[in-house]
Amino acid sequence: MTSKKYVYSKEKNTPRSRVNVWQLNKTVQEQARNIQLLQRAISHQAGVNAQQVLLNESLSDRIALLEEAQWAREQSIFQRFARWFRK
């Protein structure tokens, strides 16, 4: 006959674990804080990305305007040369 005091199954050996409500509340509050921090970081990064897009667009617009001005200048130089050559 086997004795009842030697139990090899861990599940049978330990009693049901009770839920510590205070500890559970504490972890929930920590997770809520972490979620808020992540939301702040994400919104900040989204704002930074939007500013970067606006800067890139304005920079590309400026470059396009400078290229147009340079092209107009080159054309005017060529037209002046063509007029001088026709004379």
CA dihedral 54, 56, 61, 65 (to 10 degrees): 140
pLDDT at 59: 81
pLDDT at 23: 86
CA dist 23 → 15, 16, 20, 82 (Å): 19, 17, 5, 87
Give residue 63's pLDDT.
84
**For residue 53, what pLDDT is reported?**
84
Residue 7 near residue 13, CB atoms below 8 Å: yes
Q: Say whether 27 sits in a helix, a strand or coil.
A: helix
* DSSP state, residue 14: S
Q: How many CA atoms lie within 13 A of 8 on its CB side?
A: 2
Residue-wise pLDDT tens for the chain (87 aa)? 455 555 455 565 555 556 678 888 999 999 999 999 999 999 999 999 988 888 888 888 888 888 888 877 777 777 777 777 777
Q: What pLDDT score does 57 carry?
A: 83
